[in-house]
Amino acid sequence: MTLAKSQKKCRLGRAERSPRHVNRWALLHSAQPTEEIPRRRVDKRSASTKFKFITVDALRLSTLPTQTQPNVGATPSRELTALSIATRRRSYGVGKQRGFTLLEMLLVIFLMALVASTGLMLTEGVEDQSKYDETKRRMELIRKAIIGDPTRTVNGAPEISGFVADMGRLPECLRELLEAVDCGNPGTALPVWNQDPNSGIGAGWRGPYLSVMSDHDSVKRFRDGYGNEDIDEDGAGIADDNDDVQNFGWIWQLYKADRITPTADPAEAVLIRIKSKGFDGLGGSADDYPDSPIDDVEPLVDKFDYEVNFQNWNTIIVRFQNNSASGVPVSISANALRLALSFSDDSQPDAVNELDSATFPSTAISVPSSSVVGSVNVTNATSLTVPTGTTLSGTTLTFNTAGDLTFTAGITVPVIAGNTANVPTGSTLAGTTLTIGSNGAITFPAGSVISVTTNFPGLPNIMGNYSLMVVCNDPANPNAVDGKRFDGDCDLYGDDATPLMYVPSNQPYLFSALPRSNPVAPPSPLLWTIE
């Protein structure tokens, strides 16, 4: 193709272009650069990776749509170019500020309100449920504060703890779990915990049994999960000692053994019922927890949670063993001793109560040592039971088999084959029955032990720590110490003017009584060592 024909075809091609392309071509070629583009010398080897500079106006004009068809071949003026740019900016909203209509704003507000109300509906019962759960949790804490936590163990055995174990009774009000104050007589303090040196047990208030911080007025209060406050029953305008300030907004009630008669005396109470006044704090409404009347509420603490059962304490065997270094027999007069069962009871001094057994021995005895014989006094015509095969020669009784020499007065001496005993003159033996012929004493070999039998006319039924020991029983003797732990004598140490501190060398029998467990049986026998 010749050069003339080629040039002609190019001119025709430009003429046949669409108005859109012609207009863009005209605008691009007519735009004047706003600044002179510096010429840069580009290395031919890196030319493909270098940026090429074009004018800013050319970039902007390249995206503008076509407006009108200009004359082909005409050169647009600078004014025309500026007018076209402004026209296209208005058509695209460039530089034009627009706002929300009232309808749009109302729609947005409606949607926001809808989302907020939906959130409130979803969380409507969350706060009430959390307070309900907290109230239940605090009820459980009150229960554990009263009777302890049976799931906790000490050396593999359940831990004895709580108000009942320390005080020997139920708390009269909730305040007694926080402060050592007698709710029945707010001006009187409860006896604090104390270790009794004679019985070896500790008793008394050992709280606080509930952990709580003091309020702004320095008073400790344990409220329910709803935060219900004390009530003003007397109309004084404040909650004072005349109001129900002892229970901090809870409804608290003790009941007698019939389980339906309320009482304010903890000595005759067997169970506790408690409830929360609920969200409205009024009490007696449907939102109470529990929502039943207080008389129908399940007991928070029942007698089965703290009462224990003592069994077979009507016959208790006490076996004396003389380990005295002096080697002298220990003489015990008739009815000079008794058993003392000590336990927690805040109605007594130092919160320690004591139940006493029947006195013993029924006759005077002399407990033999390892080197000196002992004896038991007997009277004419009394009968004794001896082991099978026993023989009597004069006043010497020979035991050919092991067994017990049993006195009718509740005294027993274990014997072994080959042992001998001396009996009063005139005694006779028929089978296993020995009849005493005159007043006197039966003597036994050194190293023998003597057992006596006694019983308790009544027993406690409260969980806690107990102490069983042999004590002196001589209240009429001014030179004796009644109730002193027996360790060989009952004499007074020192005198009233200069008393001497005395700590017995032997130890009491200590044990724990737990509810909902096996009956508590006595030691069989109670081995009482005389040091």
The 10s digit of each residue's pLDDT in 75-126 is: 555 554 555 655 555 555 555 556 778 888 889 898 898 888 777 776 666 6
* Structure-block tokens of residue 142: 């009150």
Contacts of 387 (CB under 8 A, 6+ apart): 399, 400, 401, 402, 403, 404, 405, 415, 432
pLDDT classification of 493: cutoffs 50, 70, 90: low
Residue 13 confidence (pLDDT) above 70: no
Query: Which H or E run contains 385?
Result: strand 383-385
Averaged pLDDT, 201-227 = 90
Strand order in the sheet with 428-430: 428-430, 433-435, 383-385, 403-407, 411-415, 450-454, 316-322, 526-530
Q: Tell me the pLDDT tens digit for each residue of 34-56.
A: 455 455 554 555 444 444 545 54
Average pLDDT, the chain: 80
Contacts of 77 (CB under 8 A, 6+ apart): 30
Averaged pLDDT, 206-210 = 93
In the chain, what percentage of residues exceed pLDDT 70? 75
pLDDT, residue 523, reads: 92
CA separation for the pair 429, 397 (Å, rounded): 9
Averaged pLDDT, 247-264 = 93
Are 357 and 433 in contact by the 8 Å Cβ rule? The answer is: no
* Structure-block tokens of residue 455: 């019983």
Averaged pLDDT, 60-88 = 52
Q: Higher model confidence: residue 520 or residue 35?
A: 520
Amino acid identity of residue 234, one-letter, is D
Query: Which H or E run contains 314?
Result: none
Residue 498 confidence (pLDDT) above 50: yes
* Structure-block tokens of residue 33: 């650069």
CA separation for the pair 445, 377 (Å, rounded): 15
pLDDT, residue 50, reads: 47
pLDDT classification of 59: cutoffs 50, 70, 90: very low
Beta bridge partners of 452: 318, 411
Of 355, 320, 293, 356, the C-alpha closest to 447 is 320
Beta-strand ranges (E) seen in 416-525 are 420-422, 428-430, 433-435, 440-444, 450-454, 464-472, 509-513
Averaged pLDDT, 19-30 = 50
Are 442 and 421 in contact by the 8 Å Cβ rule? The answer is: yes
Amino acid identity of residue 268, one-letter, is E
Averaged pLDDT, 472-491 = 78
Averaged pLDDT, 464-489 = 83
Of 24, 23, 19, 21, the C-alpha closest to 60 is 24
pLDDT classification of 15: cutoffs 50, 70, 90: very low
pLDDT classification of 433: cutoffs 50, 70, 90: very high
Residue 427 confidence (pLDDT) above 70: yes
Amino acid identity of residue 318, one-letter, is V
In the chain, what percentage of residues exceed pLDDT 90? 44
CA separation for the pair 411, 382 (Å, rounded): 13
CA separation for the pair 421, 523 (Å, rounded): 29
pLDDT, residue 296, reads: 92
Strand order in the sheet with 251-255: 262-263, 251-255, 271-275
* Structure-block tokens of residue 386: 């001896």
Q: Tell me the pLDDT tens digit for each residue of 294-320.
A: 999 999 999 999 999 999 898 999 999
pLDDT, residue 25, reads: 46
The residue written with tokens 């076209």 in the block is 84
